Structure 1
Amino acid sequence: MALDAWVAGAAPLNYTSLTLQSVGRKLTDAETQIQSAESSKVPDRAGLITAINRLAMAVANAEAGLQDDTPAKVQRAQRDLRNAIAALAAAYAKFFSPHP
């Protein structure tokens, strides 16, 4: 991920910031699409939206840490990103799993 590369000193700030902004926009688009889609699995959809929001918040926190040049904030955001990705994967699996 671009953020990991920035922390390691292998990616410039501008590139990393633009990447995070792009990811944030894509997450917003995904949330909008999920909210507007018709689905009988409303509780599962709510879980998916919550997971996307959590991921978007972690991306925003990482971006804020970059802009503030606060490595500790970026590292917290990295942990939050990893946890949010795991939560999104679980919500995705639940949403798309076969239901009787």
Structure 2
Amino acid sequence: MEKPKRWSQQVTATSHALDLEPGVFTLADPREIALSLQRSAEASRTRKADPFRSAMSMLCFYINRAGRMLPDERRRCLEAAKAELRALYGRTPQ
């Protein structure tokens, strides 16, 4: 088996954290992103943490791995998705 160039590529391909809906991070509406992550987290039977933490972890993982390559507009949308996710689970912002 060929070794991936980046550890994050391997995590994305083999992680059992959540089975995400295709294209979730390309959606334009932050609420739709949050709802999709919520559905995935609630449906997952392999996650180790509670649904909120699993969903938030996947969102943060994606944002962090994109790094400087993530356009400002896209970053704002994904950061807004974090706020939406907190609202869906009744969590207050940090």
* TM-score interval for Structure 1 and Structure 2 normalised by the shorter chain: 0.3 to 0.5
TM-score of the aligned structures, taking structure 1 as reference length: 0.33
Rg comparison, structure with higher value:
1
What TM-score do the two structures reach when normalised by structure 2?
Answer: 0.35
